[in-house]
A and B are shown apart, each in its own frame.
Chain A
Amino acid sequence: MNRQAQAVILLLLGGAVIRASVTDLYLRYVKEGLRPFLIAAGLLLVAAAIMTLWYELRPAAPRALAPAGGAPAGGSGSGHDDHDGHGHAHHEPRVGWLLILPVLGLLLVAPPALGSYAAGQAGTALSSQQQSDYPPLPEGDPVQVSVLDYASRALFDRGTSIGDRRVQLTGFIATGGDGEPILARMVLSCCAADGRPVKLGLTGDVPAGLPDDTWVEVTGRYSDRLGRDPVNDAEIPYLEVESWRQVPAPKRPYD
């Protein structure tokens, strides 16, 4: 892998990272707070590429320390590696070509955010310890809450702080352990590799006949029914659905 090829790879990687972070694409993979760092890192990669090309393509300036002709056995590499007199063609990392994969992943494939498949693989994240006193719900009828917030209140506070308020939450449809549709939302702490699902069982006017990964906005009330996640044997709270409607996938797919 010669230096110009490395420069092109760095340019592509930097460009792909910048593009992902100025659009909302990066929100599918990492937390929102990483954005400034992504942009800075992308700019630095582009700068490294430009500086490499600049030093490579500039009319060769005399090099004080170049051991001209003293190249090791690998010196008969390609012309680009030779002309600077170092001739260490075999030491240029070929493994760098692999960096083309994340570039293709970001520019061509742009895989979707984690969905029902990942949710089915992992146990509901609420088995972790939570506080036990919750502040009252904000104003509004129905009041907008996140799946995570509803599930923690329903589970650890047995719905006391929800009372008989109407709540509205958004998540995607996945298939629960008993084949019934459940409402799920992934939570991230760093990147999608540590994404864990929060799962809610549905009773009442259950959205039926929707394929997995369909995003819905459901309105309903607290239900004291509890289920179990077959994956990690943790409790899954339920929601008594009064109405629901299909919605497009939100810009921030994770809670």
Chain B
Amino acid sequence: MEVLAALLIVLIIFREPIAAALDDPRIQTWTTVFVSIMVQAVPFLVFGVLLSAVIAVFVPRSFWARALPRHPALAVPAASAAGVVLPGCECGAVPIAGSLIRRGVTPAAALAFLLAAPAVNPIVLTATAVAFPNNPEMVLARGVASLIVAMIMGWLWLRLGRTEWIRMPRRPELDDASRGRAFWAAVRHDVTHAGGFLVLGAMAAASINVLVPERWLQTLADNAWLSILALALLAVLLSLCSEADAFVAASLSQFSLTSRLVFLVVGPMVDLKLISMQAGVFGRRFAFRFAPTTFVVALLVAVGAGAVLL
């Protein structure tokens, strides 16, 4: 409360300089992009949090034991496939994966779900088909490559992952005797928590959007390998919603189809706002291992898929 009051006072005192700063076209564009990323993400965040609160409070643990194959190695493809039918974007998938792990789902399967859900779902694939009307193979390549990455990451976690990397904050309120109280406590906590990290990611993405002019990319497009690396990094930095990135990829026409496929496969799995949210929900030790590994795997698989399918 005190923070809010102090903030309001500061705002009133510094009204003039703030207003002057906001007139600068760069800061204005930054604010527009930042606000619009947040506005776009809020519904996905809220519905993702709602679903994750339902999982955390109302779905009994025994359900997951029955729903997923007993063997973790088989649970991974099952969870990836479950990601396919759930239309959502990456902001909602993080809290859902978090509460799946909390409810005893093997982390490998929950992580495969986390990666598959935003990348391969009907809405995203339709958007890709609309954005690339002359290259329908792009849809196939995107779906196949993203599924393979999700499953590889799940299996990699089974081989190399350590449970202690995932440090989920203690959540005693979830065991509250009153289901209603536990449910709303979960919603409140997840929105402020994941939402706060989403703000961090959105600020970073807005900065990149304003600071990196597209003409820099032009010089990279001529070199096949450099362009793949450049678009992979751009996907991480721009943190676009997975439902929109196909249109941006389509407009990057100076780049090869393979490098644009890399952009589409990497983006929904590793980007600034995801890294920020994963660090918040699963802990930093996890995010700083998981994100770079996913980046490398996604890059390699997408290049491979591009070589075979495009």
Contact = CB atoms under 8 A, between A and B. Distances in A.
A37 B35 CA distance: 17
User: Which of under 10, 10 to 19, 20 to 34, or 35 or more describes the interface residues of A?
Assistant: 35 or more
B38 interface: yes
Interface in A1-27: 1, 3-10, 13, 17, 20, 26
A96 B193 contact: yes
A191 B1 CA distance: 32
A233 B188 CA distance: 48
B204 to A, nearest CB: 12
Contacts of B40: 29-30, 34, 190-191, 193
B238 A127 contact: no
B3 A102 contact: no
A217 to B, nearest CB: 23
A44 B46 contact: yes
B177 A96 contact: no
A138 interface: no
Interface in B163-197: 169-173, 175-177, 180-181, 184-185, 187-189, 191-193, 195-197
Contacts, number: 237
Interface string A102-124: 10111011011111111001110
A122 B214 contact: yes
Given A17-B39, A29-B36, A93 B11 contact: no
Contacts of B47: 37, 41
Contact of A128 (B50, B241, B253): B253
A129 B196 CA distance: 38
B26 interface: yes
Interface stretch (B65-73, B113-121, B128-136, B225-233): B128-136
A79 to B, nearest CB: 12
B78 interface: no
B85 interface: no
A64 interface: yes
Interface in A192-216: 192-194, 196
Contacts of B3: 5, 97
A38 B215 CA distance: 34
B181 A55 contact: yes
B213 interface: yes
Nearest to B169: A91
Contact of A102 (B7, B189, B199): B199
Nearest to A98: B199
Interface string B227-255: 00000000000111101111110110110
A106 B132 contact: no
B140 interface: no
B32 interface: yes
A96 B39 contact: no
A3 B39 contact: no
B108 to A, nearest CB: 26
Contacts of B195: 13, 96, 98-99
A53 to B, nearest CB: 10
A243 interface: no
Nearest to A9: B192
A161 interface: no
A101 interface: yes
Contact of B172 (A67, A96, A104, A115): A67
A88 B218 CA distance: 51
Interface in B32-46: 32-40, 42-43, 45-46
Interface residues of B, number: 80
B29 interface: yes
B218 A102 contact: no
B91 to A, nearest CB: 11
A38 B25 contact: no
Contact of A55 (B184, B205, B206, B239): B184
A109 B22 contact: yes
B294 interface: no
B209 interface: yes
Nearest to B183: A51
B302 to A, nearest CB: 20
Q: Which of A42, A52, A189 has the most CB of B within 10 A?
A: A189
A166 interface: no
B250 to A, nearest CB: 4
Contacts of A102: 34-35, 38-39, 42, 199, 202
Q: Which of B192, B246, B248, B254 has the most CB of A within 10 A?
A: B192
A194 B245 CA distance: 8
11 contacts: A6-B188, A10-B188, A10-B191, A93-B193, A95-B193, A99-B199, A109-B22, A189-B247, A190-B241, A231-B218, A232-B214
Nearest 7 pairs of A and B residues by beta carbon: A190-B244, A96-B192, A95-B196, A29-B36, A192-B36, A64-B177, A191-B40
Interface of B: 1, 3-4, 7, 11, 22, 25-26, 28-29, 31-40, 42-43, 45-47, 50, 127, 131-135, 169-173, 175-177, 180-181, 184-185, 187-189, 191-193, 195-197, 199-200, 202-203, 205-206, 209-210, 213-215, 218, 238-241, 243-248, 250-251, 253-254, 280
